[in-house]
Chains A and B, each alone.
Chain A
Amino acid sequence: MKKLLLILMFLVAWASASEVYFDSRFTLWKDATILIWAVNGESPVNASEFCLSLRRNNSGIGEPKCRELGEWERDSIAIRYGSWLSNNLEKGLPSSYLRARHPGMAAKIQALEDNIVLFIAPQGKNLQVAIFDETAQEPKAAGIVKANSDKIALSDDIASTFFDKRTKRRLTKEERLKQRTEPDDLYKEIPSLRIWAGMGIGYSQAHFPFTPDNWTKNHTRSRVKNYRATKDSVSLWNFIEDAAPYFSIYAGLTWHGFIGVEFMYRYSNRDMKTDNSDTIYRELDHWNFGQHDIGLNVLLSMTYNITPWLDITPLAFIGFQYTFYNEDIGLKDDVKKPSRSYEYRIKFEDVYKGALLGIGGQFVFKKHYGVDLRMGLSSRGRDLYEAPSPDAGAAPTTIGKSTIDCFVSLGFEYHWTI
């Protein structure tokens, strides 16, 4: 059955026998004007029939107009180039080798405006077909179709082989003029100020990927006993969950596409690492902390115009942040009086200060809609430069003096330029 299908497909392909040598995607206009250039003066297709074929084969073409290109069929320069093209049009030959060299011929092609020329020349049992538009002095598409004395069938064959593509609205005279004087999309000045605002999600954890486990396992695998006892208290991750998703909102601006600042806020909810084997926690319903980070980054970036609709801005940032912890603790309903350990449970500092360091990239589509990817490191701790006091020895240990984690984030942004 499969074989039969293959043979059938082969037969269908062979019967139509049309072949495209190359097609560099010329612009097919809606309501296009097609000029039929039959090199020997006798067009094998009828202009009005060809228009009907176009409408049958391409529903988007609107109301095309077709006529024979008599002025080229009578012109000696065009006749010479036409016969040369027919002589040289071969399978596998790149279109650049078919360029019209004569300045008179080149001028004729350039003067086409938005009309499309359909070149037809007989070649044995086939017809050579080539398509010209104003943008190039060589055919934009070429190939062969099987010659057919039935003009309607032939028109259908040409229309389905070369004109079966999406159409574009034809520009008005004013629009054409404007487009010609418009600066190149890829050659625009860098805006002096670019502003963005966005929101995103991220994930942070204390363990750095691709590093040995034992670098961080003292912190990540730590458990809190009796509401305050841990082996080590240098990192907050000994007490609260270090791996958690976070939500962020941020806004920033870049001067001259190079240096910028960004304000950010992040929120994540982190559970306490309570040791569940400790019976004292039986009274406890929940114990977690809301982590609020507020920070300011300085960014260095460079914007690349990849296409008119996509700008890519790789960036590196460094900044500082303040972190606040908001405790949320609750006992089970049936517990009347909490234990003494509960009353003396661990307390964190009011505020932690830290640094941020990382790299990322902004992918801005259509100049406004941005997708932002970031990765980096952040730290939290107490101010290291406190004046030493005589009671330093007796002072309580600062919890979470050195708390470091890494993060990745994905953000969605809106961009403006000024």
Chain B
Amino acid sequence: MSALRIALAQGTLLADTRVALAAAGLATDVLSEGGRRLVLPIGDVEYVLARPSDVPTHVAHGAADIGIVGKDVLLETDADVLELVDLGYGRCRFVVAAPTGSVDRSLDEYRHLGSLEVATKYPRVAHRHFQLRGMQVEIIKLNGSVELAPQVGLADWIVDLVSTGRTLAENRLSIVEEIATCTARLIANRVSYARDRERIAALASTLEAWAGAR
């Protein structure tokens, strides 16, 4: 049987992901070496380290059998993968935020002008949310420091991912609305899940029990 290839999101999730995989009985030593190699075989698994937003693509195309990535990334990339387990860690929220004390004024403006400008790194999530609300907004895609946008007059509101909310507070922004709570997910390629069911389902059950016990 060939090695089970697991795509892992580099960055903030990786530390908890190592703990989860170790709890599921997988060797994770190779993940802690801090090296530059991105394909790390060990035993009967092979880890692939990728940018979080690329993990769903790897799995959707079958380049990796399974992966661990945040629900936030899944919502934004909309890749065709199976979501098997909510791992519970990496908790963060998609929120709509506005300059503190200005929500009423911007809603006034919205009634007056019929549209608001919303800056975000997550255009798909933002678009879908406001479409569901029936609100007309102009989405402005930024690649970083979204919280800056209202201060410099680039946008009225922002849609961003927050974990503690400190960045929002420091930039005098308040939450208008929560869109979704996101946690890390175990995902699988549809064909890999069919063909390698025993290994993947066993891992899913173990990880689910681990997440439930935390």
Q: Do A and B come from one complex?
A: no
User: Which residues of B does A touch, CB under 8 Å?
Assistant: none
User: Which residues of A does B touch, CB under 8 Å?
Assistant: none
